[in-house]
Amino acid sequence: MNNEDPNRPALPTDANHKTVMGGVSSSDGTTPLPAEIDPVTGALLVKEVNPSSGGAGGRYADYSLARQDLDGDPIYIGYEDIDGNFVIIETDFTNQTTLYYEGTGGIATGSNWSGRAGHAYVEFNALA
């Protein structure tokens, strides 16, 4: 069980008792599901990466996967649009949080990606 919702089963753990990356089913909000990884590239496979902001396709509908750091906890996944606007999503499995950092000027520019661990991440509903 997890601390937030005692009725939701915990995600599975590996041999080192570390939480395995996963999520819960959107159909019932409780069934744990594993993350899917492309066996050739090692990339995280996602069906929906665009949290909705009320518009069709969601806030990040025009963004593409640009960077990912899946080693450790938290993990970071970065998306960027053609104009250099970007979002870095920080998922912390220990604290069971997903936070967001948005920026402009390109994800690879300066410390936008290299300084990802030091950014001020916020809840999705706190984004401007």
- What does the pLDDT read at residue 50? 47
CA distance 105 to 100: 17
DSSP state letter for 73: S
Angle at 16 between CA 4 and CA 49, to 5 degrees: 50
Q: Report how many domains make up the chain.
A: 2
User: Which residue has 């395995």 as its token pair?
Assistant: 20
Structure tokens at 52: 């909705």
Range(s) of the domain holding residue 66: 42-126
94 with 54, same domain: the answer is yes
Position with higher pLDDT, 47 vs 35 = 35
99 with 50, same domain: the answer is yes
51 with 107, same domain: the answer is yes
Position with higher pLDDT, 114 vs 46 = 114
Structure tokens at 5: 């919702």
55 with 93, same domain: the answer is yes
Backbone angles phi, psi at 43, to 5 degrees: -75, 145
Res. 116 pLDDT band, cuts 50 70 90: very high
Could you tell me the pTM of the whole model?
0.59
28 with 61, same domain: the answer is no
91 with 109, same domain: the answer is yes
48 with 19, same domain: the answer is no
